[in-house]
Amino acid sequence: MIKDLHPNVVKDIAIAVALESESVESKVWYVYIINLKNETLENVLITSKGYGEKDGEQVKTSVLRHSFPIIEPNTYKLIEPIDEQTFGLNNEYWLSYYIGKEIFDKKFIFLPESIIDNNFIKLPVVNKPGVMIR
C-alpha cells in the first residue's frame, strides 16, 4: 500500500533567516518563507521550535504556529522574528501546504551555529543577507 503512494516532494521553497538591521547594540533577525515556484501555495501552515543543549542543559523553546491562506509565486512572507540567543540551538520549521488538492510537507532545520556570517548569501526575492535552506 505505502509503496503505491506518490511522494509529494517539496521543491523551490525555502526558509531563510535574514539580517534585517544592525546597530552597535544589537542585530534584528527575521525568518521568512520564500516561494520560488511559479505556483501559488495554499493553506500554508508552519510550526517553529528550538531545541538542543545550552550551558550543559537541555533547552526547548515554545512551539509557535503560523498560517497563511496563500503565498503567491515568487514572493515571500514573514514567519517570525528570531532571537540571536537561539542560534546555538536547532531551529526547526515544519512546513505544510497545498497546491490544488495535493498536500506537501517538509521539515527545515537550522543546525546550531549555522546562522553565521560565513554562510550568508543574498537571499532571492527577499534581497537581504541571510542563511537559507531549500
> 72 falls in which pLDDT band (50, 70, 90)?
very high
pTM beyond 0.85, yes or no: yes
Q: Is 17 exposed, middle or buried (0-12, 13-18, 19+ CB in 10 A)?
A: buried
What confidence score (pLDDT) does residue 22 get?
87
Q: pLDDT at position 26, please?
A: 87
Range of the domain at 65: 2-133
Reply yes or no on whether the pLDDT at 71 is more than 80: yes
Tell me how far apart the alpha carbons of residues 91 and 70 are, in angstroms, rounded to a whole number. Answer: 24
20-64 per-position pLDDT tens digit: 998 888 899 999 999 999 999 999 999 999 999 988 999 999 999
We report the CATH number of the domain holding residue 13 as 2.60.40
What phi, psi does 5 have (nearest 5°)? -75, 140
Q: Is the dihedral of CA 46, 50, 51, 52 positive or negative?
A: positive
Whether the predicted pLDDT of 120 surpasses 60:
yes
Domain count for the chain: 1
Specify the pLDDT at position 6. 64
